[in-house]
Amino acid sequence: GIFTMQDNTMGFMLELSPVPYSGEKTISAITDVLNYPWPKDTIIQFIMLADPWQEPLLDNYLGMRNRRFAGSGDSMHMDMLLQDWSRQYCEYLKRNRNRGISMDFPVPFRNFRCFFTAKRPFNEKNADDEFAGMAALRDMVQGALKTGNLSSANMPPEELLHLVRRLFNPNHEPDEAHG
């Protein structure tokens, strides 16, 4: 979506799927986005976040493993063993997320996330044109990134609020509605 902000600006936020390495196509796509003739006073940024909140990622992994190993008959015992191993692995990652694999290798576990944001001044008198223009910019960015094999998704307002709440209140227990 397109956001309006209290400082009379509007913008959008995309979450990109991080890639393990960048080839020429990826670098070219990012360069195209950076060199685009952005409207005056537009602020753009790429953000990398080492997010300690891993529950959705681990829950998704565990769900996929449980569906994969929901066998019967001869393979049932092996499937139950693999399901139990998957559950224990997820519990290990959750328990040790801040200290890492061992005391010899104290690197915390993180869910690496990448975002792209853009914002520019907003004129309420031309709201429809302003929103259409910002949506066109967002679509242009998504198209350019896609040519570099970088998939992206709009950041919904509720997900952005949840992310910001967790970043500013890291020791606060999440509520039921937001995980």
List, in order, residues 6 or more apart from 6 with CB less than 8 Å away.
Answer: none
How confident is the model at residue 76, as a pLDDT? 67
> Cβ-count burial of 10 within 10 angstroms (0-12 exposed, 13-18 middle, 19+ buried)?
buried
> Cβ-count burial of 14 within 10 angstroms (0-12 exposed, 13-18 middle, 19+ buried)?
buried
How confident is the model at residue 176, as a pLDDT? 47
Residue 51's H or E segment, with its range, is strand 43-51
How confident is the model at residue 84, as a pLDDT? 86
How confident is the model at residue 143, as a pLDDT? 95
Along the 179 residues of the chain, how does pLDDT read in single tens digits?
899 999 999 999 999 987 888 899 999 999 999 999 999 999 999 999 988 878 888 888 888 877 766 665 566 666 778 888 888 888 888 888 778 777 787 888 888 899 999 999 998 899 999 999 999 999 999 999 999 999 999 999 888 888 888 888 877 665 544 55
DSSP strands (E only) in 103-150: 111-121
- Look at the alpha carbons of 157, 41, 15, 173 in this order and tell me if their dihedral is positive or negative: negative
pTM for this entry? 0.77
Distance between alpha carbon 177 and the CA centroid of its chain, in Å?
19
